[in-house]
Amino acid sequence: MAGDALASSIARTIGRARARIALAPLVRPAWARGRARALSSSAADAVPLTTGRRNVAIIAHVDHGKTTLVDRLLRHCEHAGGDRATEQLGERAMDSNAQERERGITIMSKITSIVWRGVRVNIVDTPGHADFGGEVERVLGMVDSVVLLVDATEGVMAQTKFVLRKAIGRGLRPLVVLNKIDRDSARPDAVTNELFDTMVSMEAQDEQLDFPVLYASGKQGWATATPPGSEGWAARETAGMAPLLDLVLEHCPPPADDETAPFAMVVTMMGHDAYLGRLLTGRVAQGRIAINDKIHALSADGTVVDEGRATGLFVAQALSRLPVSVACAGDVVTVAGLPNATVGQTVCSLELLAPLSAPQVDPPTVSMTVLPNSGPLSGKDPKAKHLTSQKIKARILAETLHNVSVMSAPCMADAEGIDVFGRGAMQLGVLVENMRREGYEFCISPPRVVTRDDGNGGRLEPFEDVWVEVDDEHAGSVIDKLTARKGEVHAVVSARGRTTLQIIAPARAVMGFRSAFFSDTRGTGVLTTAFRAYMPWAGSVVAQRKGALISTASGITTAYALVGIEPRGNLFVGTGEEVYPGQVIGEASGEADIDVNPCKAKALTNFRTTSAEEMIRLRPARTFALEEAIAFIEEDELLEVTPSAVRMRKSELDSSRRRAKERGSKR
C-alpha cells in the first residue's frame, strides 16, 4: 500500500511538471504581455479609421522647411501629445534618425497622419537632398496630391525641379506653399512666376498649372491665402495652420481605389518590431484586409516569396503607430506577419497571383567598392565587431532590401569586395557612416560615376545641375574652377551682394569640388546639385588635388620628424599618432607623391642645448569629415574606416610595388 501511494504521488508530481512544461511557452513576461495587448487590440480598442481620407506628400528642395512644417501641423492638431510631448521631442520631430538630426536634413521618407475636421490626412515627409531622390520616387505612388514647398526668397532650386517633375509625371496636382514669407528678402510674386514657367517647361497639364498658393512661415506656425501687403495681411497669424489643412481637404482628391477587389498592396517602406518582427508599410491599392487574414508576398516576376497571416495592422497617428482591425483601399497601413517580404514586392490575398507594378526609381549614378580592411591596424580598434567580408556583404545586402535606390554587385577586381551603387556620394557616405557606427571595419574606394554606352560605341556619363550662391567677390573664382572642370554656365543672377549661378557639369567634376568651394568662399557659399541627364563623356577633368605625403615607417609619429616634413606639404596627422607604411599622412606641395618617415626620433647624445632650441611648434593637422575624406582620395588610394578612426592609405602599401606599377602604367 505504501509503495502504491508513493508511486501515485510520483505520477501526480510528474504530471504537474509536464503540464507546467507544456504551458511554459505560452506564458510571456509582464512586459511582453503588455506589449501584446497594445499591439493586438480588439476592434473596440483599435483606432477607428475615419470615413474620409486624404493622402498627401510634402516635397521641396533641401532646407526649404518641410520637416518644420510637419511639426507645426502636428502641434496645430494637438497630436504631438500636448506641451509635454513637444518639450520631450523638441524641433524636427520627424527626423528620428541620428544622422538626420546631426546633419539637419531628412534622409528617409516617413509617414504620419492627423485628423482634421473628421478626415484622416496621411502626410509623407520626404527628403530634399538630390542624393536621396529615390525616397521621393518610391512614395509618390502612395499619395493623391503633393504640397510643394518653395522658399519665398530662394525660389525654384535644383531639387525643386526634380521632385516637381516626378509629381507632374504621375499626374499629381500640386498645392504650392511659399514658405519663409516672413523674411524681408521674400519675393513671392517673382517666385510664383518662376514656378509657373518651370511647370510649363515640364509640359504640365492645365489642371496642374491651376495651382493654389499659400503664404506661410513654418517656423512661426501660420499659413494664409492673403498675399503680402493685401488687406487682412495683419491678421495672418490668427488662424495658425488651419488654412493649409482646409486647402488640403479641398484640393487633394479622396482615394478612388476599388474596395470590392481582392486585397493588394505594394510595400513602400519596411521596419522592424521586437515582438511582431518585420513590418511592411504601403498604400492599400484595392480590397480590404483584416487581422488574421491569409496573405502572401509576390516578387516582381510573380514568385511567391512568403505566405502567412496578418498578425498586426497599424496606422500612423502623429508620432505613434496605433492598431486597427480593418484597412480598406486608399488607407496607408503597416502589416505584420510576413518575415521574408521586402520593399517593392506585392502583399495580397492568396487568390491573387499577379503582382502590382512597383514604383520606378531612377538608376544609380555613382558606385564605390567596399573591401575588408587589409591594413596593419586591422582589428586593433576595440569598438570594431564586424571585420570579415561575409559580415560586410551581408550588411550591404540588407541595405538594398529596404533602400530601393541602393544596389550592389560582386566586385570583379577582388572576390572579397562588393560594389555598391547609389544616387550620389552623400548617400553612400550616409551608408558608410551607419556601418561605422554599427561596429563595422572596412576599406572603401573613391566614388566613381556609372557610365553607359550610347549604342554607337561612345560613352555617356551623368551630368548635374549645379546651383551656387556666393558673395559677389567669390563668383569669378567659382566660375573659373567649374568651367575648368568641363562645366557650362547657364545663368548668372546678382542681387543684394550675392550671385546665384546655374551651371551644368559632369558629376565626377563636382565630387571633389565641394571642399575647395567652401574653402574659396570662406564658408559663405551654398552649393546644391541634382541629377540632370546622361550626356556624352566630357573628357579628362583637371586634377582635383596635389600629390600625397606617404609614410614609409610603422610606429608613433614624433614632433622631430613632423617638423621636417611640414615644409613639404599639409599634414593630416599630429604628434603621437600611430601610422604604418603606405598611409597617406598629408598632401604634398607638388603634383608628385613623396615618401616620408614621420616616426623618426632624435638621436640621444650628451650634447646640451637651451630650452628654446628644443621647442618645436607644428601647425594644427588638417582633419577630414567622412564625406570630405571620400571625395579627397584618388584612384590608387583607399579610405580605411573603423568605428574610431578614418585613415587614408594607398591601395598598394608596399612602396617598391607601387613604383613598379607606376613604371608599368607609363609604358
pLDDT for position 90: 53
pLDDT for position 546: 86
Helix/strand/coil percent split, the chain, to 5: 30, 30, 40
List, as one string, the DSSP characters of 401-446. HH-TT-EEEE-SS-TT-EEEEESSHHHHHHHHHHHHHTTB-EEEPP
Q: Are 139 and 57 in contact (CB under 8 A)?
A: yes
What angle in degrees, to the nearest 10, is found between the helix axes of 389-402 and 425-437? Answer: 120
For residue 643, pLDDT beyond 50: yes
User: Which of 357, 358, 329, 330 lies closest to 262 in space, CA to CA?
Assistant: 329
Top-confidence residue, 549 or 2 = 549
The DSSP bridge partners found for residue 179 are 151
- Segment 569-577 shows an average pLDDT of 92
% pLDDT > 70, the chain: 87
Contacts of 614 (CB under 8 A, 6+ apart): none
pLDDT for position 82: 43
Main-chain phi, psi angles of 282, to 5 degrees: -175, 180
For residue 29, pLDDT beyond 70: no
- Segment 535-555 shows an average pLDDT of 86
Top-confidence residue, 49 or 60 = 60
CA trace torsion 269, 272, 276, 278 (10° rounding): 50
List, as one string, the DSSP characters of 202-234. TT--HHHHS--EEEEETTTTEEESSPTTSTTGG
pLDDT digits (tens, 9 = 90+) for 401-431: 888 888 999 998 888 999 999 988 888 989 9
Contacts of 23 (CB under 8 A, 6+ apart): none
Cell numbers describing residue 325: 482591425
- Segment 454-480 shows an average pLDDT of 87
* Predicted structure pTM score: 0.80
Cell numbers describing residue 78: 494637438
Cell numbers describing residue 535: 550626356
pLDDT digits (tens, 9 = 90+) for 112-160: 888 888 888 999 888 877 778 788 888 888 899 999 999 998 888 888 8
Greatest CA span in the chain, whole angstroms? 110
Top-confidence residue, 207 or 50 = 207
pLDDT band (50, 70, 90) for residue 383: very high
- Segment 222-228 shows an average pLDDT of 90
- If you compute the radius of gyration of the chain from its CA atoms, what whole number of angstroms results? 30
Contacts of 216 (CB under 8 A, 6+ apart): 69, 177, 178, 179, 181, 222, 223, 224, 244
Main-chain phi, psi angles of 531, to 5 degrees: -60, 135
pLDDT for position 584: 94
For residue 608, pLDDT beyond 50: yes
d(CA 370, CA 406): 14
101-105, 409-413, 501-505, 531-535: range with lowest mean pLDDT: 101-105
Contacts of 275 (CB under 8 A, 6+ apart): 32, 35, 36, 39
For residue 465, pLDDT beyond 50: yes
d(CA 225, CA 212): 9
pLDDT for position 96: 67
pLDDT for position 481: 86
Cell numbers describing residue 249: 481637404
Contacts of 570 (CB under 8 A, 6+ apart): 586, 587, 622
pLDDT for position 495: 78
The DSSP bridge partners found for residue 450 are none
Q: What is the 3-state secondary structure (H, E, C) of 392-403?
A: HHHHHHHHHHHC
H-assigned helices in 557-634: 559-565, 611-614, 626-632
pLDDT for position 52: 80
pLDDT band (50, 70, 90) for residue 89: very low
For residue 523, pLDDT beyond 70: yes
pLDDT band (50, 70, 90) for residue 108: confident
Average pLDDT, the chain: 83
- Segment 511-539 shows an average pLDDT of 82
For residue 20, pLDDT beyond 60: no
121: three-class secondary structure by DSSP? strand
List, as one string, the DSSP characters of 136-149. HHHHGGG-SEEEEE
pLDDT for position 2: 46
pLDDT band (50, 70, 90) for residue 606: low
In whole angstroms, how far apart are CA 443 and each of 417, 577, 648? 9, 20, 9
**Beta-carbon count within 10 A of 29 CB:** 8
d(CA 499, CA 350): 60
CA angle, residues 354, 145, 107, in degrees to nearest 5? 80
H-assigned helices in 143-302: 158-169, 188-201, 206-209, 242-251
pLDDT digits (tens, 9 = 90+) for 151-184: 998 888 888 888 888 889 889 999 999 999 988 8
% pLDDT > 90, the chain: 39
- Segment 615-622 shows an average pLDDT of 84
d(CA 582, CA 569): 17
- Amino acid identity of residue 344, one-letter, is G
* β-strands 119-125, 52-60 pairing: parallel
User: Which of 563, 630, 566 lies closest to 602 in space, CA to CA?
Assistant: 563
pLDDT digits (tens, 9 = 90+) for 298-347: 998 889 999 999 999 999 887 788 899 999 998 999 999 999 998 889 99
- Segment 583-599 shows an average pLDDT of 92
- Segment 640-663 shows an average pLDDT of 89
pLDDT for position 91: 62
For residue 81, pLDDT beyond 50: no
pLDDT for position 55: 93
pLDDT for position 420: 95
Cell numbers describing residue 390: 561575409
